[in-house]
Structures are given as C-alpha cells and as structure tokens.
C-alpha cells in the first residue's frame, strides 16, 4: 500500500505494480522495466503491459508519488521512472 502525502490517497499495489514500484530507480526506463521484468514473469502481452504500466505510473505521478522524467535522474530521492 502507498499513500500520497499530497492528498492522502491510498493505492493498493498488485504484484505487477509492486514490481514496477520496486524497480523505479530513476535510471531505468519504464519500457525496460516492462520488457525485462514484467513480461517475462507474468502472462501479459507487451502491448497490454505497456498500457497498464503507463496508466499506473501516470496515476502515481498525478498524486506526486512517483516522478517521471525523460532523462535519468541523478540522486533520485524517491521512486522515479524514465520514459522512452
């Protein structure tokens, strides 16, 4: 479970969301997390996995929980993912 400090919204993470959360290191692009971690471990097509991951990351980003950047983030202070 994750809570937004901005608006106190709670998010309950399933296995895939947890994997993405744990892999969000500010250096690894979301597409790489999906291709190398999600698709091999779960029975999901790459297209569906990408859509679901984008939606998850976007929602967390909107609540200030996850930072999305098109460049690697040096010294990321919290979970962050790169976009392709």
For 50-68, the pLDDT digits (tens) are: 999 999 999 999 988 888 8
Range of the domain at 52: 12-69
Residue at 81 is within a domain = no
Instruction: Count how many domains the chain has.
Output: 1
Query: Does a structural domain hold residue 47?
Result: yes
The per-residue pLDDT for 79 is: 62
| Residue 75 covered by a domain | no
Residue 3, H or E segment: strand 2-3
Confirm whether 2 is domain-assigned.
Answer: no
**1 found inside a domain:** no
> Has residue 31 been placed in a domain?
yes
Backbone φ, ψ for residue 43 (5° rounding): -80, 80
Please give the share of the chain, as a percent, with pLDDT higher than 90: 56
Is residue 49 one of the residues assigned to a domain?
Answer: yes
What's the residue count for the chain? 84
Q: What are phi and psi of 52, to 5 degrees?
A: -65, -40
Residue 71 pLDDT grade (very low, low, confident, very high; cuts 50, 70, 90): confident
26 falls within a domain? yes
Residue 36 has pLDDT above 70, yes or no: yes
């Amino acid at each position: 479970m994750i809570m937004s400090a901005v608006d106190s919204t709670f998010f309950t993470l399933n296995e895939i969301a947890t994997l993405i959360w744990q892999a969000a290191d500010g250096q690894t692009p979301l597409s790489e997390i999906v291709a190398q971690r999600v698709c091999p471990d779960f029975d999901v097509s790459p297209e569906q996995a990408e859509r679901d991951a984008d939606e998850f990351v976007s929602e967390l980003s909107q609540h200030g929980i996850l930072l999305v950047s098109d460049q690697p983030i040096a010294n990321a202070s919290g979970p962050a993912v790169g976009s392709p």
